[in-house]
Every structure is written in C-alpha cells, then in structure tokens.
Structure 1
Amino acid sequence: MISYRASTPADLDRVTAWVGTEPVGWIPADRYLADLADGMYRPEWTWIAEHDGRVVGRALWWGPKGSPHPVALDCLDVNPAVGDRSAVAAELMRAALAGFPQPVQYRINVTGGWRDDPATSAAVEWRRAAAHAAGLTREVERLQFEWAPADGVPPLTGRLRFTEASDEQFLAVFRRIAEGSLDAQTRANLATKGIDETAREEMDFYLRAPGKREWWRIAHTRDEEVAGLAIPSATAYNVNVGYLGVVPEFRGRGYVDEVLAEITRFHAANGESRITATTDMGNAPMAAAFRRAGYRNTGIRINLSNDVQP
C-alpha cells in the first residue's frame, strides 16, 4: 500500500537522492538544497509517496522567501515501478493540496516541439493527467525567452518618453492595458473579478516581486499622452522583463517594441548578463516582439492551475 505525507528533515537524504530520467524539467539535489536554505523549499512543502519504506514519488512545492504557503509545484516524480504513475501522482498532489489555502500552479518545463517527441510527450501526459485529476484543470502554455548582451542592446528612438509615476497613476494604466489583453490569466481574471480587482492584483504581484519599485516607468508619446508602461522586474533567480503593455488606443503602432526596448536597456545598463521573459503561446504579437528584440525562445512552460475559471 502506498502512503502519502509531507516530508520531515529526516527524509532529506531520500528526497535529494532522486535522479530525474525523463525529458522534462526537474529539480536536482544542489538546487533543492540551495532553495531549502533560503526557505523557498521546505520539508513541510515537500511531499513524498512511500511503499514498503521506499520513496516512490515526490512533489516539490515552492514559495517565495517569507511566504506562509507554497505557490507552485516545481517538480513531480513517480517511480514507474508503481504501475499507474498518474494515479499515484494525483493522490500525492491531492494530499498536499488539502492543506494549501490559496490557488497554486504546477509548472512543467519542456523544450519546443515537445508534442513531436514521444518520450517528452509521454512524460508530460501522465503528469498532466495527474494534475487534472487533482483539480489543476486550467492550462496555459507559455513561451520562455532569454536575452544576453551578445543579442544586442536596442537603441533609443525617441518615439516614447519614460517617466516615474505614483502607484495611483500606474494602477490606472494597469486598468487600461487589461482591456483587450491577450494574456490568458488577465482574461480569466477579467471574466471572474472585473477590471478593478484584476488591475490591483496584477500590480500587487509586481510590488511583491524581488524587482524594485523605483524601476517602474510610464511610457508617453511625443504629444504627452500615456501610451503604456514598462516594469523591469526580477524573480528569485534573475532579472526579467516583468510586465509591459500598451493602452488600447495606441496598439498596432509598434510601441510595444519601444516599451520592451526600454526594459532591456534598463537591465543591460545595470550590467545584467541574462534577462528572462515569458508570454502565452496564444499571444503571438508579444512573442513576435520578443523575437524582434533579439530574445531567444529557450523552451515552453506548461502551467496547470486550480484557480477559478470563467
């Protein structure tokens, strides 16, 4: 019989002894131990499946430093010897989710074209089936991008001017950008929460991110009209593009390239050697903007979540 429980410090060696063998992203021992020391992985967030005293599955839940609860499942592994890996994984996820007070995501990182590779497709499918069975049924694929100095720093064109602004001014622009957004999360939030709560939640997310508030800028046209905003930001591991957008009346004029260029220049001026970014697979205009700016597609992240669907 298989049992499911949160780990304890005594389980550390068994948790870190796991070696991933499938072509999906996984967490090796050194990464786990480093983030464990920073409180981003924790024994009580690390769930294991046991059979006859052996660990046959593990689910590594992650949260930002200081968070009272995890926000994402980074790694899900089940030994193929158990038979129905999907069923075991679903039970492992359900056991953890019962104690989590807020919605979470399960993130599966794969290479581009993963559906065409039988091994990768199989590795995704049993994990996806487990997530759906455990209630993480809203699914979005996101393209992952990366920039390095060798990709070139975009020049200033003078088409837009970027200024600091108050939180109230930024919140107003967040509201305007949400209108007609192609981002799946924004669209889902608009349908269930309305524009004001959607804008506030998106802004609060970036206020809590490791990036600094003083990095934020509002974009203005030459006629001093608000065209959009640029939020260079950061994750726990590196700087990133964060959030950018153009207000509806100025879309289709190439301003997205100017806003992205401002974020890239900002991080480059600070000596950053790597900038990451993501956008939904369905947001073709944003993906095209990243490619025009020299960002390289490095993979795909499949996000499965249990937040409210419209």
Structure 2
Amino acid sequence: MLFRAATADPADLDRATAYAADGPIPALGAERIREELASNQFRPEWIWFAEDERGEILARALWWGRADSTRPIALDCLQVRAGVTDPVAFASGLLAAGHAAFGALPVYNVSLPADWRDSPALVEAVDWRREAAAEAGLSNEIERLRFEWTPAAGVHEPAGKLVFRDGTDEEFLDAFVRLSAGSLDLHTRNELRSMDAEQLAREDIEFYRDCPGERSWWRLAELPDGTLAGLAIPSATPYHRNVGYLGVVPELRGQGLIDEILAEITRFHAGEGADRITATTDTVNTPMAAAFERAGYETTEIRLVLEPPAR
C-alpha cells in the first residue's frame, strides 16, 4: 500500500477530482474541488491517496486551509472504497502519512444530517472514521450544531438593555478572559485544563484576527452604566458571514442578554447585505442553541469535530 500526496501534474489532479467515492457520507464533487484548488484552499500537497500495487486509488483525504495558510487547517473529506475489508487501517494510515508531512494534526470535520443516528449506514460510516481518526491522533470528539440565518428570518430590533462600543485590545483581552469562566463550550473547557485563561484568550483573539472578518467589527457589550456585560465578535469565513464569538460575563448570565448580543451581530451582518449568516455551538450548550433558535437561525447539520486531545 502506498500513501502519497497528489502532484501538480494535471493528470494526477484529474485522478483526484474523478475519484467516485461511495458510501452514505457525501464526498466533494469534482467542480467543488477544482474551485477550491483555484482559490488555493485545496492544494495538491494537501490531497492524499492510498493506492494499491496497481495504482488504483482505494482511499482519498482532502485537507483544507485558507488561501494564505502555510499548513492545512482541517480535514474536509475522507473516503475509503466500499468493499475494502479494513477501512480503519486504510484511513488511519492515510491520515498518519498526511499528519507527518504537515507536521501538524488538523481537525477533522464530519458534516452529518441532524438525524444521522437514525441511519445504521451513517452510524457505521461515522464509527470507522472516528476509530481511524483516533488512531491517527484525533481522539477528542465534539459534536456541534451548525445554524444558518437568512433574511427571511428578519432581525430583532435593539431592546435597549445593552450599549455596544469598540474597545482596545486590552479591553477585549480582559473580556475574553472573563467570559471563559464557567463556559459551556467544550473546546474552551478542554483548553483550560492545560493553560490559564489569559493564554487561551490570547489564542482566541489571534484566531479571530486571522479569520476573514475585520477587527473593526468587534464590539464590547455594556450595561447602560458602563458595566461590562459581554462580547460580540462578528466574523466571516471564505464563503459567507459568520457569528464568530459571543458571550455574557458569568455574573450576568441567565438574564436574556445573550439574545441582545446575538441580535447585534445579526443586525450588523444584515446591514452589510449578508444573505446568509452561519454559526455553530456544541450540542451540550443548550442555552446558546436556544438563543440561535429564538433569533431565527435554523439548524442545517451536525458537525462532528475530531481533534487532538487537550495539551
């Protein structure tokens, strides 16, 4: 068995795009792959194959990154031919080879319908991917709800509970630190097992600075008397506007202020002409999920995130 990256040779890229994957979890089509290659978000060295001795492709992995990324950010697609007797071995070997070449363990995002557990075929397809990812170092699992807003849902007018303003980097750092206390976000909780709140806050700020959204969009949320209430970080992906990050300080949670902060982000993006706003939250974060639903966001999929264990 040979695990290798694609080359820039057009014939090799044709093989990558023509791979007719089967199974219940959809693979990206040829047109989408070529679009991502053209935008530099897929690259030949981020497309990996498992080939048999005849050169037949038995498995394929597609990693994604931003146009300016030096290494891939996430695994977007992992497929193994139906009929392969041990898909875990093929998939884990393929992932391990890619990870070694990248010098990193990008997360693996598996997009699934909300009712995927009702389908035995989908459960089986998820199980071998989960096992292969764990063998390749992605042993931590988070299940997230993906939400989407469109103009048909409308926007909520300000209720006057909060005032939003720009802030200094130091103020945003302090806000990130305060919001991490008691967070229901699993990534935040996992990271705080191995680092302090300020270190995590600095990493979060760097992440959102690196997203396509602008730093000038960020807002502090305050009570009318100037007391910090929370944080609103409208953001973007390479494809559409995104909620980004939001939250309420621990001492003010449970008073409906999250609705005001989410509405502010939604109004901002809608005012910029966004025809779609996406957002995600962990399935265990039921208060945040309920806030999205109250704001007119609809669940579009479940995203199973497989990542390295907390450091």
TM-score range, shorter chain: over 0.9
Instruction: Tell me the amino acid that sits aligned with residue 5 of structure 1.
Output: R
Q: Which residue of 2 aligns with 1:260?
A: 262
| Alpha carbons 2:21, 2:80 under 8 Å: kept | no
Q: Which residue of 1 aligns with 2:288?
A: 286
**Worse-superposed segment, 11-20 or 171-180:** 11-20
Q: Which residue of 2 aligns with 1:5?
A: 4
Residue 82 of structure 1 and its aligned partner are, at CA, apart by 2.5
**Worse-superposed segment, 123-132 or 269-278:** 123-132
Residue 307 of structure 1 and its aligned partner are, at CA, apart by 4.4
Q: Look up the SS of the partner of 2:193 in the other structure.
A: helix
**Worse-superposed segment, 150-159 or 97-106:** 97-106
Residue 24 of structure 1 and its aligned partner are, at CA, apart by 2.4
Question: What value does the CA root-mean-square deviation take over the aligned residues?
Answer: 1.1
Which of 179, 182, 185 aligns to 2:181? It is 179
| Alpha carbons 2:141, 2:304 under 8 Å: kept | yes
Which of 53, 63, 73 aligns to 1:61? It is 63
Q: Which residue of 1 aligns with 2:91?
A: 89
Instruction: Tell me the amino acid that sits aligned with residue 2 of structure 2.
Output: S
Q: Which residue of 1 aligns with 2:305?
A: 303
Q: Which residue of 1 aligns with 2:168?
A: 166
Which of 237, 240, 250 aligns to 2:239? It is 237
| Alpha carbons 1:78, 1:85 under 8 Å: kept | yes
| Alpha carbons 2:7, 2:13 under 8 Å: kept | yes
Instruction: Tell me the amino acid that sits aligned with residue 215 of structure 2.
Output: R
Instruction: Tell me the amino acid that sits aligned with residue 236 of structure 1.
Output: P
Which of 89, 111, 114 aligns to 1:112? It is 114
- TM-score, normalization: structure 1? 0.97
Distance of 2:105 and 2:95 partners within structure 1:
13
Distance of 1:102 and 1:199 partners within structure 2:
22
| Alpha carbons 1:26, 1:75 under 8 Å: kept | yes
| Alpha carbons 1:40, 1:62 under 8 Å: kept | yes
| Alpha carbons 1:103, 1:307 under 8 Å: kept | no
Structure 1: where are the runs of 5+ without partners?
none
Which of 138, 141, 150 aligns to 1:136? It is 138
| Alpha carbons 2:22, 2:81 under 8 Å: kept | no
Q: Look up the SS of the partner of 1:192 in the other structure.
A: coil
Distance of 1:253 and 1:116 partners within structure 2:
36
Structure 2: where are the runs of 5+ without partners?
none
Distance of 2:161 and 2:151 partners within structure 1:
23
Say how many residue pairs are matched: 308
- TM-score, normalization: structure 2? 0.96
| Alpha carbons 1:26, 1:74 under 8 Å: kept | no
